[in-house]
Every structure is written in structure tokens, then in C-alpha cells.
Chain A
Amino acid sequence: DAGVTQSPTHLIKTRGQQVTLRCSPKSGHDTVSWYQQALGQGPQFIFQYYEEEERQRGNFPDRFSGHQFPNYSSELNVNALLLGDSALYLCASSLQGQGETQYFGPGTRLLVL
């Protein structure tokens, strides 16, 4: 049973560029959440997608956007990259209810130069 997968594993971009990160949820899961983790910090919630809609958003600017596809996979897009966007981006999948356990993927390490 495949767990949560993410691609790419690593990415280097320049300030001002745009990036797209991808996530496939664990088999049987229909909900995808995205988190940003800076070095030495806990993950910070960006947003969650369910039924192809963003249903909750954390304290992140509009430069961060996402999409969920009919097969439940998801993308995270970040426009106009800043140096401070350098972080580990984590995707988590779960069932749709409140309080459901979220299972994380391996993450995408983004470095903005």
C-alpha cells in the first residue's frame, strides 16, 4: 500500500520565479493538506483541499495557491518566490472529517536563491 508521495524531492529556484509541487495521497484518502516547515520549527498549515475545493487556509499570502484533481492528487503553487520561502514543503493526506489523522509524505526541499 503506497503511502503519500511527493515530487520533486529537491528544487532550487531564483527569487521572483514560480514553482509547482505535487502530491499523491495515501490510497483511500480524499483530503490533502499542505504545510511549510522552516528549519528548527514545526510544520505550519498552508491550506487543505477536499472535493477539489480549498476548505481551510492558514496565514499565508495569496502567492500560495493550490489545486486538487478528481483523483485526489494535489498541487501547491508558489508565485513570486522570496528567499523566505525556502523550506521543506510537506503534503499530508487524510479522510475528510475533523480530527482525522494526517499522514505525511517525505516532503519537497525548496531552496530560493
Chain B
Amino acid sequence: EDQVTQSPEALRLQEGESSSLNCSYTVSGLRGLFWYRQDPGKGPEFLFTLYSAGEEKEKERLKATLTKKESFLHITAPKPEDSATYLCAVGNSGYALNFGKGTSLLVTP
């Protein structure tokens, strides 16, 4: 059975304090690992898709990396507007996305 575990559950950073979020996964036949950002009461906003170990993608202050067992979302010099819940999901041999519970990030000025 596929499993996705995100850590930490919650993270508080000072503005400018870089850090990383972790997504560990067990899946039979990885068809993609997806990162989303979700603001309270809203739908998840797509950030990145990674397909193979060693792949990296960047967008502004965010960088996602992938190994055979985990993915990291690195946040460089975060700003208060980066505060949100970050969700990781895996796609397997089917069509469903299997999500972790998310990491709630708070960036204070």
C-alpha cells in the first residue's frame, strides 16, 4: 500500500531563515511526485512535478528535489507570504494522487 509521510507537521521560521520540508514515500511504480501549496479554506495550488530520482525544479524561493525514497522542498530566504500548508502527493500505476497530511509553515517578520 502506498504511503506518504511529511515532516515536520508544523514549522515556524523567521523571515529570511532557510529550511527544508521532507516527504518520504513508499509507492509501487512511481508515476510522479507532486508538491502543492494550500492556503486556509482554498484548493491546493500546483507547484512542482518530479518524475525521476535526481530531478530538481525551482520556482522563486522554492526548490524541489527527488530521490528514490523521499523528496525535499527547500525554501530559501522565506517571506511571510510563503506561509501556507505544503502538500506532497505521489501518483502510482493508477490515476489517483495519494497525499501526505502536509506541513504547515508559518514565516514571521
Contacts and interface: CB of A to CB of B under 8 A. Distances in A.
B102 A42 contact: yes
B43 A105 contact: yes
Contact of B51 (A44, A99, A104): A99
Contacts, number: 67
Contacts of A105: 43
Contact of A103 (B32, B41, B46, B98): B46
Interface residues of B, number: 26
A55 B42 CA distance: 27
Given A105-B43, A107-B43, A98 B31 contact: yes
Contacts of B99: 42-44
A102 interface: yes
Nearest to A3: B43
Given A43-B44, A104-B46, A107-B43, A48 B96 contact: yes
A58 B44 contact: no
A41 B101 contact: yes
A20 interface: no
A97 to B, nearest CB: 9
A109 interface: yes
Contacts of A41: 101
Contacts of B49: 101
A48 to B, nearest CB: 5
A106 B45 CA distance: 9
Contact of B95 (A43, A48, A106): A48
Contacts of B51: 99
Contacts of B36: 104
17 contacts: A6-B43, A33-B97, A40-B101, A42-B89, A42-B102, A43-B44, A45-B96, A90-B43, A90-B44, A92-B97, A100-B32, A101-B49, A104-B43, A104-B46, A105-B43, A106-B42, A107-B42
Interface of B: 4, 31-32, 34, 36, 41-46, 49, 51, 87, 89, 91, 93-102
